[in-house]
Amino acid sequence: MTSYLLPDEAATLALGAKLGRSLKTGDCVALRGDLGAGKTSLVRGLVQAQLGEVDVPSPTYTLVQSYDLPTYELWHCDLYRLDRPEDAHELGLMDAMLDAVCILEWPDKLGDLLPDTVLDISIQFDGEGRIATLTGWDGRNV
Ligand SMILES: Nc1ncnc2c1ncn2[C@@H]1O[C@H](COP(=O)(O)OP(=O)(O)OP(=O)(O)O)[C@@H](O)[C@H]1O
Ligand SMILES: [Mg+2]
């Protein structure tokens, strides 16, 4: 378990950029934190570090936003509005977990379909800033 102090949004973007370099196809990241914690900001930092100033919207209504990054396809999912875990099949998410890198906001919406071997990131409020705690990333260069 490793914690990172994120005093401002720039620090969240930078952590996202760094994490993006250690991910590979087949990885699934559970990205946890309350509303407005900075989950989407972290993904924005990851994507923009690799693609430049592209738009990285929150997939609140679409549930999924995918990106062709240089070394992997990224699925950024916001599962807040997923009604039932089984709907993940229709969404193509279960296949994407094998063929892409999946980063899941509100991962517990998947219930038993959430893989056992997720890389966990939990973002907590800390005064004006945030603290990110990484679990399950041992052996990764982050
Ligand atoms: N380390 C930080 N310190 C202070 N503010 C931050 C930090 N990181 C991100 N923010 C700000 O917090 C807000 C986070 O919004 P964001 O949409 O990323 O949250 P979220 O966790 O994805 O929320 P939701 O659960 O609604 O999807 C943004 O306004 C962003 O600028
Ligand atoms: Mg979000």
3-state SS track over 11-36? HHHHHHHHHHCCCCCCCEEEEECCCC
Q: Which of 10, 122, 23 is nearest to 70 (CA)?
A: 23
- 58: CA distance to ligand 2 center in Å? 5
**Mean pLDDT value across residues 30-36:** 97
Pocket test for ligand 1, best of 4, 5, 6, 12 (most atoms within 8 A of CB): 12
Report every protein residue that has its C-beta within 5 angstroms of ion ligand 2.
Answer: 39-40, 58
Please state whether the predicted TM-score (pTM) of the whole model is above 0.95: yes
CA distance 15 to 83: 31
Sheet holding 64-68, edge to edge: 2-6, 129-135, 119-126, 28-32, 101-105, 73-78, 64-68
Task: Specify the ligand 1 atom closest to the Cα of 43.
Answer: 18
From the CB of 6, is ligand 1 less than 6 Å away? yes
Nearest to 66 by CA among 53, 82, 77: 77
First-last CA distance in the chain = 11
Strands (DSSP E) found in 33-127 = 64-68, 73-78, 101-105, 119-126
pLDDT of the residue at 139 = 80
pLDDT digits (tens, 9 = 90+) for 43-88: 999 999 999 999 999 999 999 999 999 999 999 999 999 999 999 9
**Ligand 1 in contact with 46 (CB < 6 A)?**
no
Tokens of 125: 């409020």
Cβ–ligand 1 distance for 124 under 6 Å, the answer no
Q: Report CA(116)–ligand 2 centroid distance (Å).
A: 23
Q: Is the CB of 126 under 6 A from ligand 1?
A: no
- The pLDDT, as a whole number, for residue 53 is 96
Domains within the chain, CATH numbers bracketed = 2-135 (3.40.50.300)
Q: Is the pLDDT of residue 93 over 80?
A: yes
Query: Which pLDDT does position 131 carry in this prediction?
Result: 98
**Position 82, amino acid:** L
